[in-house]
Amino acid sequence: MQDKIYGKIPLLDSLRKYSIKDITCFDVPGHVRNRGVKILNEYFGDDIMNMDINSSPRMDNVSNPQSIIKEAEALLAKAYKSKNAFFITNGTTQAIHAMILATINPGDKVLLPRNIHKSVINALILSGGQPIFIQPEFCDDLGISLNIDHYKVKDIIDKIEDIKAIFLLNPTYYGMCCDLKEIIDICSEKNILVLVDEAHGAHFPFNDELPVSAMELGAHMSAVSIHKTGGALTQASALLINENIDASKVKQIINMLQSTSASYLLMASIDGARHNLVENGQGQLLNALKLSRYAKSRINKVNNIKVISKELIGNKGVSYLDETKLCINVKKLNLTGFEVYDLLYKEFDIQPEMADLYNILALVSIGTTKEDIDKLINALEIISTISSKNQITKNIKIKQIKPIVKLNPREAFYSNKENVILSDCVDRVCGESIMAYPPGIPIIAPGELITKEIIDYIKLLKDNNAYLCDMNDKNLETILVIS
């Protein structure tokens, strides 16, 4: 690799310079650059092995950054229009845990939608916070949750006292955005903190045609998966904070959760991705938007397939929409989304982001090409032709599940439990999380009442080969319940 020196990429630039210096290493990692494990060199290359280093006086320390990491985080904060930004190397899961632990004490009430990621439930187990669920709007045609209606937020916080914070998923996995500004204004009147899981919106600040980011709208904290839509390496995320949040406490919490040997490859990839988004994001994301619109226009001409887009804007819970996410509705094919997902992967070497019973989700990003889009279109055309010969009509009805919280998640987690046969669990209190992954939204979480409706939905997902995870019984013949 030819050595290139870039301006304003302090960590990536310094890491590259350090990796090519003739330094005799008696520190970790034990592979000692490119010397110790030749098979890793053969697969990863010398450059990656030489840049896999540990903290040192020359390279700063993420636990208490004083030089190049401090500068890189300041540039990240500037790019995201936040007061502070912190490198996170264990994904947005860790950022969400830090966000909750820095603001929520045991017993504090948190208002949140039920279509949140499992990391939020786990953060409540860690913090002892008390969830108050608000149902997101639901689209029967798509079979998915949309986002939160701000009128519902106002109604709840007017009725329930002492809500400490609201936690929002914005955008949803399918790109649906609530009226975040209105919710922030409503919560401001009650001194309620606004925390945002913006994992799938890391690209928002870098193109004018995308929804406005949480930081720009005045949210107190947000977590962004820079690896998801910003171009960094997998697990590379950031935690962003605005005014009225104690940065020193946030840093203390991050240091409790994050490894003291945080990966320099991941941190440097955040630095490089940030630089690229600032320098090239406007054009790259405009190209992604054009490709997404082209894909929609073509796929919507395929028999029995429809791509959902801006026509949803204006519905309750959808004030804005991220067009780079292609929610492809396939239920009229007489195939489930899981089946189409498998066909795309096995027969066409196409990897969608995720699937559910009605849809597949394809992400159009800064690295997507027109050739990629055309390959997807052609595959869907073939699948549509094949499925038209299928005489079996699948009559799958999806309803929104409305869980009943019986115990605080932390209390449920630490309660005594027993395994009970699936069909015998009705009216028992769940002691574990069960979910389809991706996206990792719990079907049932610790402390919630197990109803017949939930059992039926679990059976429906099992029968349609959804990838279910996190449960104690990997075959899901039993559920862990409070004894």
Q: Which pLDDT tens digit goes with each residue over 137-193?
A: 999 889 999 999 999 999 999 999 999 999 999 999 999 999 999 999 999 999 999
User: According to CATH, what is the number of the domain 286-387?
Assistant: 3.90.1150.150
On the CB side of 481, CA atoms within 13 Å amount to 20
Phi and psi at residue 441, to the nearest 5°: -90, 125
Which is more confident, 441 or 127?
127
Cα angle: 115, vertex 116, 118; to 5 degrees:
120
The percent of residues above 90 in pLDDT, for the chain, comes to: 85
SS3 content of the chain, % helix, strand, coil (to 5): 40, 20, 40
Six-digit token string for 437? 């992954």
390 pLDDT higher than 80: no
* pLDDT of 1: 37
Answer whether 286-387 and 409-482 agree in fold.
no
Question: Are β-strands 417-421 and 354-355 bridged in parallel, bridged antiparallel, or unpaired?
Answer: unpaired
* Cβ 339 vs Cβ 346: under 8 Å: no
Per-residue burial over 291-314, b = 16 or more CB atoms within 10 Å of its CB, e = otherwise: bbbebbebbeebebbbbbbeebee
pLDDT digits (tens, 9 = 90+) for 425-435: 999 999 999 98
Q: Classify domain 68-276 at the CATH class level.
A: alpha beta
User: According to CATH, what is the number of the domain 409-482?
Assistant: 3.90.100.10
* pLDDT of 397: 78
- Average pLDDT rounded to a whole number, residues 223-248: 97
Q: What is the pTM of this model?
A: 0.94
* pLDDT of 392: 57
pLDDT digits (tens, 9 = 90+) for 7-50: 599 999 999 999 999 888 888 899 999 889 999 999 999 999 99
pLDDT digits (tens, 9 = 90+) for 439-464: 888 899 999 999 999 999 999 999 88
What is the domain partition of the chain in residue ranges? 10-51, 68-276, 286-387, 409-482
226 pLDDT higher than 60: yes
DSSP assignments along 200-266, one per residue: GGTTGGG-TTSPPPHHHHT-SEEEE-HHHHT-PPTT-EEEEE-TTS-HHHHHHHHHHHS-TT--HHH
